[in-house]
Structure formats: C-alpha cells, structure tokens
Amino acid sequence: MNILIITADQWRGECLSALGHAHVKTPNLDQLAKEGVLFRDHYAQATPCAPSRSSMHTGMYMQSNRCVVNGAPLDSRFSNWALEVRAAGYEPSLFGYTDSAIDPRGLDPEDPRLKHYSEPLPGIGPYTPMRDEVSTEWVEYLRDKGYPVPERPWSLYSELREGVDWAAGGDAVLPLAIEREDHETHYMVNRCIDWIESQSTPWITHLSLLRPHPPFAAPEPYNSLHDPEDMPDPLRRDSTDEEAPQHP
C-alpha cells in the first residue's frame, strides 16, 4: 500500500469549490475530493500551526500532547504516525515541513537542533530541509535559475516583489517576480512527484505545503484571479469587544 498525506497551512475550510464556494476555484483539490473521500465536518484541533499539526500527527488533543504554542517540544514519550508506520516496515518521507521542536531532555544544551523548531517529526526519514519557513532546497533552485535571492531567504518575498515593500504593508495584489512554475508550492509538488515515481517498494510520504500561509505573495496569474471588490466581507463583528466572547 502507498500512502500520500497532503496538508496546506492556514487553509480556510470553506474555501473549496468542491464545497460550493461562490468565488474560490480549486480544480486540483476538487479532483482529489472526487476520487477520494471529502470530510465536510473536519475541524483543526488547535491554533496556531504547530499545536494543530501535533494533534494531527499524534491523534491527541493539545491539552494531552502539551504542544500548546509554536516551538513547544513534543514529548518523546508520545508516538506519532511516522513512528508507527516505521515500525510496520515503511520509511516515511517528508516534502515540506512539520516544524516539530525536538524534546530537549537527554540532549546536549549546545545541540544546534535546540536553536529552532524546524525539525521533522520524529520517525521521518528523508526530508526537504526548511528554515525560517523557507525551503533551503527551493532557495538554491531559484539561485541556480538566476533569480536574485537575498542573503536572508525570508526576505525574498519582499525583494522579489516588483518594487513592493512587504514589511511596510505593500500591496499583496502585485505579483511575486518569479514564474509560476518556479514558485515554492510548484517546486515542492514536483519534488514529491519525482520521488514517488522513483520508488519501487511501498511508500508513505507527507507533502506539507506552506501556502496559503502568509506572506500573501503569489506569482502571476494567481495574484489577480479575483477582484477584491467581488469578495464577500469578512465574517466578523463590528468591534474588538464584540469579537472577544467567541475567542476565549
């Protein structure tokens, strides 16, 4: 049996045309939904990102696995799907990230893995490294293709915008100045496809895509698929005080 797990970070649950969204068009995801099983009432167990992923990877509520904020280490006494399938004979791989902070107990205080929380989930074998939410392999790919990648890769989202200063709140509608086939999502999907096609034994892999997580910097034509004037208003109250009761 071959198993492919795909996730997308900060995807709003209703934003699938397969679910009848009036504006968003998601043809590839719709095809997956058509060929598989579509869960209309699936809920993330926690926010922000890392606690939500920890719940998904372990099958435990946040208050049980105790990963309650980004950067909180996952206790090594807890198992997860990667460890379980490894025990069954698979070597799970990862394209993307899980942002799993390693359990510090038993490690040297100077262990470099303690300086960030970008480690893969325990049990994962081959993986594509990421730092500061940017794939280091993708950065090298862009450099090899001649893009002017800045010294600090995270800055490429502002410096590869056509004159837009993202940090100063620049217009997110303007495109990221790379070709769409060179975008991070496109690159990661192609890496995963190439790996799958090279396998000769049963496999399991996790394709973990960062987008639509900010920054909102898309290449053409995706930056202008929708006119902001046609979008419905956000579902929110008129004031912060009115919002507060639904966010305990």
Question: For the chain, what are the domain ranges?
Answer: 48-223
Name which of 11-20, 25-34, 165-174 the model is least confident about: 165-174
pLDDT at position 169: 54
Look at 74 and 151; give whichever has higher pLDDT. 74
Q: What is the mean pLDDT of residues 137-145?
A: 94
The token duo for 116 is 């960030």
Q: What's the mean pLDDT in 147-173?
A: 67
Task: For 175-185, give one letter per residue: b (16+ CB within 10 A) or e.
Answer: bbbbeeeebbb
CATH domain 48-223 topology: Alkaline Phosphatase, subunit A (3.40.720)
Instruction: Determine the pLDDT at residue 246.
Output: 74
Burial 6-28 (b: 16+ CB within 10 A, else e): eeebebeeeebeeeeeeeeebee
What is the pTM (predicted TM-score) of this model? Answer: 0.88
Q: Which of 15, 49, 67, 192 is catalytic?
A: 49
Q: What is the mean pLDDT of residues 17-26?
A: 92
pLDDT digits (tens, 9 = 90+) for 120-134: 999 999 888 877 678
67 is annotated as an active-site residue: no
pLDDT value at 171 more than 80 = no
Looking at residue 159, its pLDDT comes to 66
The pLDDT value given to residue 170: 52
